[in-house]
Amino acid sequence: MSRYSALQAISPAIERTKAYLFQPFQWGRFLKLTLVACLVDGGMSSCNFNSRMPSGGTGGAMPTFHWPHISMPAIGVILAISALVMLIVIPIGLVINYLLIRLRFSFFDCVLRRRDRIGEAWGRYHRQAMRYLWMTVLVGIGCWVVLGVVGFCVWSRFKPLFLALGTDHPSHFMDFLPLIGVLAPFFIVFAIALGLAETAMRCLLLPRMALEDASIAEAAGDAWQDIATEPWEFLLFWFMKWLLGVAGTILGVLVMLVPILVLGIVGVLVGLLLKAISTTMLYLLGIPALVLAVFLLIVVGIGIGGTLGTFRRNYALLFYAGRFPQMAEVVWPPTSAVIPPTGYAGGWPADAGKTPPLS
């Protein structure tokens, strides 16, 4: 059994991802696995930084804002529509979330055992997926409670500032600095806490729930003991996982630029040629070609994002396997205990005990 640190697990995770997705390489199998990886472990993360600073040339006053007056009948209609939406959206959201969670368990099982039978793994994780679903619901409720309490405290503290928005008294940007000074650190800490919780749920609790059929309390207790044993190593793991995600996103975007530029240049040249021949030809051939180009870009995006998602799953798997003996037995099985998978005719090659082939 190997025990990788957060830094040492990077290179083996890359090799394991290459072996899982590309050895042997089959287009259908590759696209199936990368599509599942995109759905359950994310592809390329998106970071959108949008800052709007007030202009300094027109004075410091912000435009006044008047709260709209809503009559009682309109409030009743809004409440009725909101209730109807909640009754429809919440059940549908729970069903979709359950399906994605169960697919996440199935993909974890396939990556762990280096198999590609998603449907076969799907049938083993209904109970675990339901537990994980309720855990996400509890975490979500906890987040809303925290936001509600903080929102009430902020409203109480800055009530005069909020009430001034509905009057004719102009508000200056400097008036909002104390509010920004309170909310900015809170949301930074809140985002970090959510990131830590999500990493713990996906990378620590999910393996224990999958392999031990552990309850939420049991999985959380065991994971907390592991973290308490090596707190700085787990913190470094979380940081490296985030850093690798950012680096993977940048790399994925750069790689995606190549087919986008190629298809864009070819599309413009072909479009100009078709337009020179006939406008009808441009529409008859250009629209199907555009649809095909978009489809090809989606396939390329799935391949890139799914490969990155599979790498992140392998990285978390190899790091935690050294601290979770039951998972380590699957990742690094004893040579004498290796059994050829069902349906593999003729046994394995002589050196198959070192690296079991994909089923």
**CA distance linking residue 13 with residue 237, whole number of Å:** 13
- The distance from CA 295 to its chain's CA centroid, rounded to whole angstroms, is 22
pLDDT value of position 131: 93
Residue-range domain boundaries for the chain: 10-43+72-334
pLDDT value of position 45: 52
Kindly report the CA angle at 293 between 292 and 295, in degrees rounded to 5?
A: 65
**CA distance linking residue 313 with residue 307, whole number of Å:** 10
Residue 274 near residue 341, CB atoms below 8 Å: no
> Of 31-40, 203-212, 339-348, where does mean pLDDT reach its minimum?
339-348
pLDDT higher than 60, residue 56: no
pLDDT interval class at 343 (50, 70, 90):
very low
pLDDT in tens, 61-70: 444 444 455 4
Place of tokens 């985002």: 191
Coil, helix or strand for 233? helix
pLDDT value of position 268: 83
pTM here is 0.76
pLDDT value of position 158: 78
Phi/psi at 230 (nearest 5 deg)? Answer: -135, 70
Coil, helix or strand for 73? helix
pLDDT value of position 157: 82
Of 245, 182, 352, which Cα lies nearest the Cα of 13? 245
Phi/psi at 172 (nearest 5 deg)? Answer: -95, 155
Residue 332 near residue 353, CB atoms below 8 Å: no
Of 345, 285, 313, which Cα lies nearest the Cα of 112? 313
Phi/psi at 299 (nearest 5 deg)? Answer: -65, -45
What is the pLDDT averaged over residues 263-292? 81
Q: What b-and-e string marks burial along 263-289, b requiring 16 or more CB atoms within 10 Å of the CB?
A: beeeeeeeeeebeeeeeeebeebbeeb
Maximum Cα interatomic distance, the chain, rounded to a whole number of Å:
84
